[in-house]
Amino acid sequence: MLNYRQFYMILVICIFYGDTISDIMDNFDIKILSKLLNNCRESDRQIGIDLGMSGGAVNARIRKMQKLEIIEEFFIKVEPPVLGYGVLYFVISGENMKEILEQVSLVGEPHFVAPCVGGITVCSIIVKENLEQKIELAKKLMKDFKVLSIFEAENPGFNANLTKTDLEILNELIKDPRQKIEIIAKNTKMSTKTITRCIEKLQKNEGIQFTTIYDPKKIGKFIPYAIITWIESNLKETLEKMNKEFSSIYLQIPFIAKNQIVLFMYSNNIYKMDELTQKVRNIKNVKSADLFIPKKILFYNKWLEKTIIDFKKSSKLHLTYQTN
């Protein structure tokens, strides 16, 4: 039998997702969106080859999703630990994004915010040092909200050895992650060979992702959701089990931290989502698993732009950092 919270979540899902036009997105569209979420620089032709359609057909579907504002923008996401910053994540009871951002900004620079079904908001901030102190400060300052959880996501082995050239090209890619190599070369006055080599280097870095920001409420019959898991031990083995079991319904590749795996998935059935979450909980080494259904997804890159500007002013030739 459903409890009150589960009934409320189902009711809200029906309100937010039930009014969408079910035939706006079909199976090919969701697969194309998934491809762009994992690498928005992948060419239309290559996506078409993988999905069994022409590059022109892929391009037409992408333009359709842009016109319908399903795809909001292409985005380059850099994990802050790559550049030496810490990240604090908050799970907050409340949906007023403006007020939440004002509160968390007192502690650090906003990085990510996602209001979710059920009156919950998940967000993160970037901090430079003294993470434990920042957590205590956040608890004291955020008295207007019920903070359900604050935690640091310890990232495993992200490393960066970025040159000023890399950062100059990265700064150009922030403006348009799908920008053609020839245009980047023209804007930066660098050779296409240098641009190509740099982009390949950035794409190989696990802490840098060429991705897409989309509107979860506009993808028709599909419901995107995330399952945040806490892992007791053997993270790599646990991830392999999850990939074997669930990869066919991944919307994005999982996010990995030292003691966490976040699965990004989609479904057309809200009851299957609940069943699948329980299956994840039953996997060996999974301590807990919580389901979140986003209504909006926002990322912020001001911190990255500022870091690039500051580094370009410095005398250093390389920006080197490696997490533990």
Which of the pair, 206 or 232, is modelled with greater confidence? Answer: 232
Return the exposure string of 266-285: e unless at least 16 CB atoms fall within 10 Å of the residue's CB, then b.
Answer: bbeebeebeebbeebeebeb
Per this entry, what is the length of the chain? 324
Q: pLDDT per residue over 17-70, tens digit each?
A: 444 444 578 999 999 999 999 999 999 999 999 999 999 999 999 999 999 999
Architecture, CATH, for domain 222-295 = 2-Layer Sandwich (3.30)
Q: pLDDT per residue over 243-259, tens digit each?
A: 999 999 999 999 887 78
81-156 classified as CATH 2.40.50.140: no
Q: pLDDT per residue over 277-290, tens digit each?
A: 999 999 999 999 99
- Whether pLDDT at 98 is above 60: yes
Domain boundaries along the sequence of the chain: 81-156, 160-205+302-322, 222-295
- Whether pLDDT at 106 is above 90: no
CA distance 201 to 193: 12
Q: pLDDT per residue over 144-172, tens digit each?
A: 788 888 887 665 566 667 888 998 999 99
- Whether pLDDT at 86 is above 90: no
Pairing of strands 159-163, 250-256: unpaired
pLDDT at 137: 82
Give the closest residue to 149 by CA, choosing from 290, 25, 1.
Answer: 290
Q: Hey, do 81-156 and 222-295 end up sharing a CATH topology, with the first three levels equal?
A: yes
What's the predicted TM-score (pTM) here? 0.85
